[in-house]
Amino acid sequence: MMNKNTVLGWATFIMIVVGLGLIALGAFRYNEVAGWGFASVGLGFFAIAWVFNALKGRV
More confident residue, 34 or 58: 34
Per-residue confidence band for 15, with pLDDT thresholds at 50, 70 and 90? very high
22-57 pLDDT, tens digit each: 999 999 998 889 899 999 999 999 999 999 889 888
Domain range holding 44?
4-55
| Contact of 9 with 17, CB cutoff 8 Å | no
pTM attached to this predicted model = 0.84
**Number of domains comprising the chain:** 1
pLDDT band, residue 58 (cuts 50/70/90): confident
Distance of alpha carbon 39 from alpha carbon 20, whole angstroms: 9
